[in-house]
Structure 1
Amino acid sequence: MSDAATTTVSTPRAGGAPRERQVSEFTALTRTVQEAGLMRRRYGYYWTRFVLLTGLLAGLGTAMVLVGASWWQLLIAAALAVVLGQVMFLGHDAAHRQIFASGRWNDWASLVIANLYAGMSYGWWQHKHSRHHAKPNQVGADPDIKTGALVFSTEDLPKARTGVIGWVTQRQGWLFFPMLLLEGLNLHVSGVRTIFGRGEVKRRPIEIAFVTLRLGGYLALVFWLMPVGMALAFLGVQLGLFGLYMGAVFAPNHKGMPIVPKDARIDFLRRQVLMSRNVRGGRFVESFTGGLNFQVEHHLFPNMARPHLRRVQPIVREFCEARGIRYTETTLLQSYGIVIRYLNRVGLAARDPFQCPITAEYRSAR
């Protein structure tokens, strides 16, 4: 069981059916947020970030050309990993319809930012991420807890977890961050497999064109400027740090929070609050995480502009506290400790990661 899996839910109050009352609770919260003007667009903020990130990418590309065949290129690779992480946060906001009122404009912004700037598939990421938002930390529904290199449920432990794989699984908490060094490569490969595969992709020709241009041009530039060994080291540093950065930002949000079974029935408000964790740390952490440190608020209002998440947080926290809904916050380092301990416990076949009060309450709810 995770450090945060002791989440409690208040006993339903009298007056109205539980589901009707829960729907009206979120409606009341939404009305308060709208009246505070926190759902309005922030065009100036997002255009500024787009121009700034475009300039940084252009500057790093120029620096690569000027530095040439020098090991100083590895510093540029590290800086590029961080800038591309910020680019993906901007693409994340566009995919959530946070930037423009027009869905078409947001789609094109996502295609340009994710596919052309970062070399990743917007369609692949949107499909996966949308399912995560719909049912975070729910077995069989949230792809972010699907068994793969990591195991998030003891129910999956008997599946060929022997030998080297079993050894890794038993230590998966300690190995989690080193394994993230491969996540950057995995993200690119998953996107390429999707857009060149047989599954449905909304704008396949555009995605293929943008990703091919970005990845092909990038690789051509790197191998043109540097000897093969140096080029491979450059790509290793950039992809490794990019994957580590993405994982270090996304892992604290839900890993180690309650995991609920397939048959759980939870209203939207509690589903999003109880399965999410905020990360404290001020403006630095907010910038480092692209605003995703306000994970509770982001899950409740996924199309809210990033700058408003900080302002809506006290409203949401007070609303939850008044209704006895546990609102989880921690520091970035503490969240990493929670993630490591939780993964180690699952890897060591913890008795029951589902031993959480919310599962009993909602398992049979209708």
Structure 2
Amino acid sequence: MQAPSREYADFRRSRDERIRLRAYGPRSVATKSSASAPGFETSVTPTEEHALAAPVIESRMGPIRQTYKGTTEFPPMAKAYTELSQVVRETGLLVRARRFYAMVGVVLALGFAGAITGFVLLGDSWFQLLIAAALGILFTQVAFLAHEAAHKQIFASGKANDRLALWLAAGVVGMSLSWWTSKHTRHHANPNRVGKDPDIEIDTISFLDVDAAKARGIQRWITQRQGWAFFPLLTLEGANLHVIGLRHLLSREPVKGRWAELGIIALRFAVFVAPVFVFLPLGMAFAFLGVQLAVFGVYMGASFAPNHKGMAVIAPDAKLDFFSKQVRTSRNITGGWWATWLMGGLNYQIEHHLFPNMPRPHLGKARAIVKEHSQTLNVPYVETTLFESYGIVIRYLNRVGLAARDPFECPMTSAAARA
């Protein structure tokens, strides 16, 4: 089999002109307003993503309103995805990678065996917190596998993937798979679309200025500083994921497989949580769980946040083709194999969104095809380093948080009030 990039080059030469005729280039976004009243200068401030992220309009009175990308900025491109998917299928990148996932399973099993051995040998020691941190990392890696199984990336059989995802998510990690699947499916269908993507809905953090402006009390204080508070708040995300999942399973809304999930989570509680309190002093046991959940939350959040935060925010009524909305709202993380292991394949977010059932080891090969296809269509293909992405996320959240500040508040008065 030839390298994907070579096959794609042949494919592109034969169809390049047809693709260009079908596609529309993105319309440029003005960086200055055409009409500003004297003393009220307004400009559009693009993000570090070369104006891909939703711009924030700023003035001397502070942020006015976040704007969203629509059909005019991202005109539809006929058959853009059809052409791409044909090449991907022909190069065999959707074929299952069972040996890879078997190897990952063995590595994780050895990791858990080592953690359990260390737990037994250390006994009543505060060094147990190191075991707790290791378990937080291992549980996150298992969550990555559950994510892939839910996307049908591991087995050819859908039922086999579903069973594996259930036991990994509920039985090992302790999260509700049904809650996560519902939320994640809606995210994949409409990434960064206002009113449809649950990942940009307000929680403790506001991802849209309209939500930030509604913040009151302690939440308003957090929102004003949410960029800097984002990673510290992730220490609570592990516990939050468990609580939200249980709330979903115990709600009155219909949940498929409710009792099976609750039973598996209860079994996981008995196998993992109960022994911690049996073999460790009470205070140490709580510290053990606290460290494990904190590491799990930070690792999960730090792996998922770089993918879309700070990228284009899509208007609710925008009509975009599948290829455009997936590529323009996603960001890849560079780093190669180590980033793939660290982030469970989420570093190839663009390829994952275009082909959700593509096995992890094939995502890197698909990158060359997708990137070249994007360049042919003049669609920006965004990738950056991991730490640069964190900086982008922090700045974006701080910029959104400006909406929680009162533009008519006197700085001297507020400073005196704080004193």
2: CA distance, partners of 1:58 / 1:197: 36
Is residue 2:397 matched to residue 1:343? yes
Matches within 5 A, 1:186-265: 186-265=240-319
Q: Which residue of 1 aligns with 2:115?
A: 60
One-letter amino acid of the structure 2 residue matched with residue 173 of structure 1: G
Identify the residue that residue 363 of structure 2 maps to in structure 1. Answer: 309
Decide which of 278, 283, 293 is 2:337's aligned counterpart.
283
For 1:77 and 1:25, how far apart are their aligned partners in 2?
Answer: 47
Q: 76, 82, 97: which is aligned to 2:137? A: 82
For residue 335 of structure 1, give the secondary structure of its aligned residue in structure 2.
helix
1:345, 1:232 → 2: CA distance? 37
Q: Which residue of 2 aligns with 1:158?
A: 213
Which residue is 1:321 aligned to? Answer: 375
Runs of 4+ displaced beyond 2 Å: 1-5
TM-score normalised according to structure 1 size: 0.90
2:187 match: 132
Number of residues paired by the alignment? 342
- Cα distance between partner residues in 1 of 2:106 and 2:263: 23
| Secondary structure of residue in 1 paired with 2:79 | helix
Q: How far did 1:217 drift?
A: 2.7
1:347, CA displacement in angstroms? 0.3
Aligned pair partner of 2:351 in 297, 316, 329: 297
SS of the residue aligned with 1:349?
Answer: helix
SS of equivalent to 1:148 = coil
Aligned to 1:98: 153
| Aligned partner letter, 2:329 | M
CA distance in 1, matches of 2:78, 2:109: 42
Q: Does the residue aligned with 1:265 lie in a helix, a strand or coil?
A: coil
Give 1:51 shift: 2.8
Residues 186, 225 of structure 1: CA spacing in aligned structure 2 closer, same or farther, 3 A cutoff?
same
Distance in 2 separating the partners of 1:24 and 1:266: 12
How far off is 1:215 after superposition? 1.9
Give percent identity, aligned residues only.
52
Q: Structure 2 length normalisation: TM-score?
A: 0.79
Residue type of the partner of 1:233?
A
Tell which has more relative contact order, 1 or 2 (C-alpha 8 A, sep 6+).
1
1:357 corresponding residue in structure 2: none
Tell me the SS of whatever aligns to 1:70.
coil
SS of residue matched to 2:333: strand
Report the alpha carbon displacement of residue 87 of structure 1 after superposing the two structures with TM. 0.5
Residue type of the alignment partner of 2:272: Y
Secondary structure in 1 matching 2:314 = coil
Distance in 1 (alpha carbons) for counterparts of 2:239 and 2:52: 35
Structure 1 unmatched ranges of 5 or more = 13-17, 352-366
Larger Rg: 2
Q: Give the aligned residue type for 2:313.
A: I
1:265 deviation in Å? 1.1
Give the Cα–Cα distance (whole angstroms) in 1 for the partners of residues 292 and 86 of structure 2.
Answer: 44
Name the residue aligned to 1:332.
386
Distance 1:219 1:157 in 2: 37
The answer to whether the 8 Å contact 2:170/2:264 transfers is: yes
Which stretch shows the higher mean deviation, 184-193 or 54-63?
54-63
CA distance in 1, matches of 2:180, 2:212: 27
Structure 1 residue 233, shift from structure 2 partner:
0.8
